[in-house]
Amino acid sequence: MAFKTRENDYSDLDLDFVPHETTKDVVIRKGDDAIQRSVRNLILTNFYERPFQSYLGSGVSGLLFENMTPMTMNNLKLAIREVIDNFEPRVQLLDVKANFDYDNNGFDVTLYYKILNSNEPIVAGLFLERIR
């Protein structure tokens, strides 16, 4: 008897709400793309922004309005690490690297993580800037 192995089918709605060309329904993100979108959304979510989940957030946007010092960059990395460790159980965060981008007035953030039950690490880049 042969057993068929099943990989984890992670899926999520595309929050850009771009309709599918044929069905005109919301597109579904699957696999690594769904998890990468979820990680990005967690980082960009502020406290008290989601109804009935006021505890969910990173506070990263408040740090973007601080002076660009090594202490601010360290707090930024800690906030990102904390929100991913607490609210994304599908991911094992390996490292967070951040660099100042003085010309564009923001931070270049690179995340290194592994999806659970997967051996290949994923590198995701994100640019964090002030938005009013």
Q: What's the predicted TM-score (pTM) here?
A: 0.82
Let me know if domain 32-129 sits in CATH 3.10.450.40.
yes
State residue 108's pLDDT score. Answer: 96
State residue 100's pLDDT score. Answer: 93
Question: Which two structure tokens, joined as six digits, stand for 63?
Answer: 């740090």
Q: Which amino acid is at 119?
A: N
State residue 26's pLDDT score. Answer: 81
Q: 80, exposed or middle or buried, with CB in 10 Å at 0-12, 13-18, 19+?
A: buried
State residue 81's pLDDT score. Answer: 97
Terminal Cα-to-Cα distance of the chain (whole angstroms): 60
Rounded to the nearest integer, the mean pLDDT of the chain is 87
In the predicted structure, residue 4 carries a pLDDT above the cut 70: no
State residue 22's pLDDT score. Answer: 86
The mean pLDDT of 109-132, rounded to a whole number, is: 90
Produce one character per residue of 48-71: b if its CB has 16 or more CB atoms within 10 Å, e if not.
eeeeeeeebbbebbebbeeeeeee
pLDDT band (50, 70, 90) for residue 117:
confident
